[in-house]
């Protein structure tokens, strides 16, 4: 389920539309919905990072939720670089709607210093993020 089709769209947030995906900046968490076929590399992570820093500042601790409504690839080393440079995330969650998305969680855990939690629904991911604020 996309954020735009959910009840969570009614929560206070800022929606950011970029050429590679939609991003929802809530008070204490960010939800990403990357577009089909995108390769999420350092160049794109940096663009998103700059927007998050502009929105939240550099002292905020956030939770990042990747809502995998489309198929795309990521460059895991980019997130290691992000963690080293910005240190904004206290935890991450991946909302995977199929087994392939679930398998990527295992790989991404190898490249992340914070914990990554896997969810099967947007509702469960957001409830977890709200609880861990």
Q: What is the DSSP string of 61-122?
A: -EEEEEEESS--EE-HHHHHHHHHHT--EEEEEEEESSHHHHHHHHHHHHT-SS-EEEESSH
Q: For 89, phi and psi rounded to 5 degrees?
A: -95, 135
Which helix (H) or strand (E) element contains residue 126? helix 122-131
Domain ranges of the chain: 3-131
Q: What is the pLDDT of residue 110?
A: 45
Q: What is the mean pLDDT of residues 18-26?
A: 98
For 51-103, what is each residue's pLDDT tens digit? 999 999 988 989 999 999 998 888 878 877 887 887 788 888 999 987 665 54
Cα torsion at 106, 111, 113, 114 (round to 10°)? -40
Q: What is the pLDDT of residue 132?
A: 84
The class (CATH top level) of 3-131 is alpha beta
106: pLDDT strictly greater than 50: no
């Amino acid at each position: 389920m996309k954020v735009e089709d959910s009840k969570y769209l009614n929560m206070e947030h800022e929606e950011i539309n970029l050429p590679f995906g939609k991003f929802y900046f809530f008070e204490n968490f960010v939800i990403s919905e990357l577009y089909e076929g995108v390769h999420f590399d350092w160049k794109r992570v940096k663009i998103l990072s700059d927007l998050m820093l502009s929105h939240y500042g550099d002292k905020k601790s956030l939770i990042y939720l990747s809502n995998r409504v489309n198929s795309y690839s990521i460059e895991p080393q980019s997130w290691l670089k992000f963690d080293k440079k910005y240190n904004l995330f206290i935890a991450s969650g991946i909302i995977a709607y199929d087994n392939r998305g679930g398998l990527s969680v295992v790989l991404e855990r190898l490249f992340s210093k914070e914990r990554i939690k896997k969810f099967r629904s947007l509702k469960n991911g957001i409830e977890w993020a709200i609880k861990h604020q």
